Amino acid sequence: MNRYINIPKIKSPSGKQMYQTVRYPEIPRSENDIYVITTVGDRYDTLAFQYYQDSSLWWVIANANGNADKSSLTPPIGSQIRIPINPAPTEIQYQNINTQTNVSSNVSSNTGGGGY
């Protein structure tokens, strides 16, 4: 999945083309979510591959753990992180809030920062 495919491109004041700010959906907790304690070598992309068979869904796990360092793909060693059991609804919400018709120039909620 190319998660930027529907993100509108805008031009900076200097004329440089760039992507509009990406917004991420809230990821509700489920009693079926998986909780793991991270170890040496764990990364959001490898965890996404392990649990979803799709490393491109790393952002689902990273966003489900809002207190995580947004500038790194590596969660702190020894921390408990939540892995949402079903990423499909989150993927759909992501596409819906970031499509050309739904994005306004005044993006204010749940914007990505750092390494996203």
pTM (two decimals):
0.67
Could you give all domains of the chain from N- to C-terminal order, each with its CATH number? 25-92 (3.10.350)
Between 76 and 96, residue with greater pLDDT = 76
Q: Are the C-beta atoms of residues 82 and 64 closer than 8 Å to each other?
A: yes
Between 49 and 9, residue with greater pLDDT = 49
Going by their DSSP bridges, the two strands 17-19 and 34-37 should be labelled as: unpaired
Confidence of residue 90 (pLDDT cuts 50, 70, 90): confident
Q: Are the C-beta atoms of residues 98 and 90 closer than 8 Å to each other?
A: no
